[in-house]
Homo-oligomer: A and B are copies of this chain.
Amino acid sequence: MDISSFLQFRDVGRHIDDLETPVPVIDIDVVERNLSRWQERCDALGIANRPHIKTHKLSGLARYQIEKGARGITVQKLGEAEVMADAGISDMLLTFNVVGRQKLDRLAALVKRSAISVVADNHDMIAGLSDAARVAGRDITVLVECDTGAGRNGVQSPQDALRLAQAIDQPQGLRFGGLMTYTNAGQRMAADAFFIEARQLLNRSGLQASVVSTGGSPDMWKDDGLAHVTEYRAGTYIYFDRSLAVRGTCGYDDCALHVLTTVVSRPTLERALVDAGTKSLTSDLLGLEGYGVVHDLADAKIYTANEEHGYLDIRGLRAKPAVGDRLMITPNHVCPVVNLFDEVVFVRGTEVLGAVKVDARGRVQ
């Protein structure tokens, strides 16, 4: 089935010049190519592809990722999992600690109607997860989250991973599912060393890490440190963005999503103001200069931004954009941009296919 048949389009005109700005515009052919390339790589490596839907937050695209060969999906919040379950997706990994009565009640409801696995990185969570399993009447698979260098969540050593796995593996409705980490660029070998030691400890104790799950887009094409990984959680690869183009993970041609914007003011020869500010582009810099670039204008930068204004540096341009011109901004970080908009628009070149509701937008709870 074609990718279009997974998306419910609302009519917003035929040509991108018909679109209201600012608006995220997604080239469907680039999405198709990005998804194919990554699925082929995972298949070649024999690693399960479990894409993170926090990037697109669209149940239709999540279903299409599975149609193309993904094992299941990754979600970061219960609210995202609920939207995806409503769309008929069952195989999910929730990579965020479920803590608190309200959240555990919702997890129990999800466990009843889907094959959702979760993570844990501390012993305080076990009683709650066990209760949720009892309420659901089904076992819950729990992966141990490991801090292998990112300095975020996770047990701090292979010994701690073993202890938590043992605490999970008790007659209480929980099943130890394996190990999970998130790595920043350049941290994959450290994760590999952690996993090797943890698996040895687990094996000696009669436990099996049937899943070893890693995530992070920057190093997605690198082969080192993947020997013991069984599944990969990439998110941004579906759209890519400026931060990954600058790092060389993708080319600018691989960036599927741009924010279409209109020049509304040209007060000086140095700057143009566009109608996309931080409420369209976010303030995410990711170590970059500026809030996004116009690749078609010699990578002219949005050098600063207020909530609804983007300040475009036009000093280096011979042909300066005029009031009314429409420009495509490549955002620094595509994931939080998508989370700002109720709808995104799919296009094929300059042809508009339609607007699609971002059905998991804002599901941070």
Contact = CB atoms under 8 A, between A and B. Distances in A.
Given A97-B265, A268-B156, A324-B100, A279 B339 contact: yes
A22 B78 CA distance: 12
A153 B265 contact: yes
A192 B365 CA distance: 47
Contacts of A45: none
Copies of the protein in its oligomer: 2
Interface in A297-311: 306-309, 311
Please classify how large the interface on chain A is, using the bins under 10, 10 to 19, 20 to 34, 35 or more.
35 or more
Given A54-B307, A54-B308, A267-B147, A364 B22 contact: yes
Contacts of A285: 283
Contacts of A282: 278, 282-283
Interface in A304-340: 306-309, 311, 322-324, 335-336, 339-340
A161 interface: no
A115 to B, nearest CB: 22
A32 B110 CA distance: 40
B362 A340 contact: yes
Interface in A119-133: 121-122, 124-125
Contacts of A306: 152
A155 to B, nearest CB: 7
Interface string A81-107: 000000000000000110110110000
Central interface residue in A54, A155, A364, by most chain B CB within 10 Å: A364
Interface centre among A18, A77, A102, A267 (most CB of B within 10 A): A267
Interface of A: 18-23, 54, 76-77, 96-97, 99-100, 102-103, 121-122, 124-125, 147, 151-156, 262-268, 271, 273, 275-276, 278-280, 282-285, 306-309, 311, 322-324, 335-336, 339-342, 362, 364-365
Closest 10 CB pairs of A and B: A283-B283, A97-B264, A124-B323, A20-B365, A153-B265, A283-B284, A99-B264, A76-B308, A279-B364, A20-B102
